Amino acid sequence: MSLFNYRRQPGYFERLKEALKTTKEDLSFKINQISGQGESPVSDDQLDELESVLIGADLGVETTLSVVDRIRQGTRSDRFVVASRLRRLMREQLLEIMKAVDTQPAGKQSVKPRVVFVVGVNGVGKTTTIGKLAHMYQSEGKTVLFSASDTFRAAAIEQLEIWAERAGCQTVKQKAGADPAAVLFDAIAACRARGQDILLVDTAGRLHNKGNLMRELEKMKRVAAKEVDGAPHEVFLVLDATTGQNGLIQAREFAASSGLTGVIVAKLDGTAKGGIVVAIANELKIPVRFVGTGERLEDLVPFDSEAFVATLLGEEVSVGQ
């Protein structure tokens, strides 16, 4: 299902807005405190305050300085900057950053099975996200199989099977400690034999700081590429939004070694620091593809740059936008 169609589903914007509620209330309130309303003039000191607010919302120093510097450059000919113009300039800068990395799904869409790797450190909600992805793909009429290729962590296979049962999917597995690439090989063969459309591949956590597990992931990618044209077709990194700038560090490490095609931001509904999404797009040039909006299977929605930026700034977004 395309983002265009998702935007027109009942409740789509309400779900996205609810996930971003804490971020919006915190950031929008502080911006209003700094800039005032309507035609109130905004001073250089207030722009300095804005820098502190954006850094506090986890946009990061590099991204924040870039945004505020562009605002300063855009208003040099003005005697003063009014609050309404400040918000317009912020919206323009944030949208420019987010839209610069908006992409379509990677790889050939007609290839079966479509192999999707899901990576991330332990505890970010990776297994839960796999269950949600399965549910989303199934809502599009696709059939889904799980590859239990996290054989490193105790209970990882059992946890994946729980989510497979919830989503109505089957899992290809071996015993704990087995070669993850061998599990993947079997799962691809099973996908072909059963005519499955999507293979969701769970991978070992803590990959960003364990060299042996990073090499293991590279081996899995080679196996996938040998067995299926263009595979892996997606490599999604799951990030816990509540970890803030640590999430950016994780993304940077994975981007350097894993060939990421997108980020899935989990637990965004539990943090006031949703600016990490902007930092990832600006500093790493990786698109955010989905946002977790709760704990249910259906609580995963495609990321929408316009809705995200509007919500950050406390603005309304209409379905026809």
Where is pLDDT greater, at 186 or 6? Answer: 186
Instruction: Tell whether the model's pLDDT for residue 14 goes beyond 60.
Output: yes
pTM above 0.95, yes or no: no
pLDDT, tens digit, 9 for 90 and up, residues 270-319: 655 678 888 888 888 889 999 887 788 988 888 888 888 887 777 765 54
SS3 of the chain: helix, strand, coil, percent, to 5 = 55, 15, 35
d(CA 201, CA 148): 7
Structure tokens at 45: 């000191």
Where is pLDDT greater, at 87 or 227? Answer: 227
Q: Of 244, 289, 281, give the one whose Cα is nearest residue 263.
A: 289
d(CA 232, CA 114): 8
pLDDT of residue 8: 44
321 — pLDDT class (breaks 50, 70, 90):
very low
pLDDT of residue 132: 95
Secondary structure class of 151 (helix, strand, coil): coil
pLDDT, tens digit, 9 for 90 and up, residues 208-239: 556 677 788 889 999 999 999 999 999 999 98
